[in-house]
Structure 1
Amino acid sequence: MPQDTRSPCSERPRERLLRHGAQTLTSAELLAVLLRTGTRGRDATDMGRRMIEHFGGLRRLLSAESSALMAFPGMGPAKTCELLAVQELSRRAIEEPLRNGRALSQPGRVKQFCALRLAHLRVEHCIALFLDSQLQLIECGEIARGTLSHASIYPREVVKAALGHHAAALILAHNHPSGLAEPSPADIALTHQLKQALALVDVRLLDHLIVGATEVTSLAERGQV
């Protein structure tokens, strides 16, 4: 039987993935495996490359809403659904250990999960990780969303949400659309207000995470919770 003399570079992305592993493909080629086909005059790899450029990076592409994906040339319902499924599977893969183990025993994974949810957003969002008495994740819910620089977070709404989830503790997280993960005086003041309000209903505030573009700051690690 004649030997296959094709070089890896001459193989299509799907063939290279099976032969040499996903790690050998570029981000555009991995997208091509999902997209399968491109548009007239452009193959799937070229389409993947243009999508990454259009959305401003892989993270923002894989966090884009369905309407933004559908608006890109060549993206129909099927391709859009595939990318949305990848988004959700990524979130669930990171969230799963938080539901099965103590959140405080894996702070790096908590930060990673919050970064995945918030780092790409262009306006400020605040989420809470509601935890049971064993510090396992009950639910992650959005508390507030706002503008490029501010989201109004009301302690009474956080308390109401915590009681609604029967939480024993929670971790708060919000993003800074500026990209900087340094807490502001208002962030620190809010943390103290929330801690006091939650204590009245016997719910602990374990941490407040500030999510920037490339890093996450823990106020608990700074002794400010």
Structure 2
Amino acid sequence: MALKQALAFLLLFLAACTLLYSAIASDPDILVDFIPPPEGTPVDGSYFAFSGLRSAVGAPPPANFTVTKASMGNFPALNGQSVSMAVLSYPQGGVNPLHTHPRAAELLLLVQGFLEVGVVDTANNLYTRSLQRGDAFVFPKGLVHFQYNCGSGPAVAVAVSAFGSANAGTVSVPLSTFGVDIDDSILAASFKTDVATIQKLKAGLRG
């Protein structure tokens, strides 16, 4: 009987921890319709409008992968709304490198070209899919994922991503691993390689 009570308590504790984590990891709820701008700034229709994505719509092919964001940092009306978006443009062979969004899931809609996308779960299972125009793909919150323009010729791929946070955050796996001052010997041991290889990877990121 005592064992059953202990197990029941443990399950309740784990459930409470899960709920607490979910509450902390999400955008906070607001108790008003929207968060107004600083005092003295008038609120009209322009406060809820954003023109910063115009440059990414119908733009000439980029030389490198580019992201144009509409998030809380440049669109203050999103504060408290738990939503943001981005337009992503990939030249032929362009890649959005391995990364995560710690505060939001990402729903990607491909509007031009072709993409190979993939996501890795916490059991290290890789899920990939080839997308064409009109296809959507969801990247669950916090999981490592990527996108790659696999189209032939000079095709440009363009996608629109929606996020379940006003400030989803982006953690680049290559930069957070090799672009900071983690000791080379620690990285070499972690990747089961040698220091010279680690230094080549770091040099490649700087180049």
Return the structure number with greater relative CO, CA threshold 8 A, min gap 6: 2
TM-score computed with the length of structure 1 as normaliser: 0.27
Higher strand proportion (structure 1 or 2) = 2
TM-score computed with the length of structure 2 as normaliser: 0.29
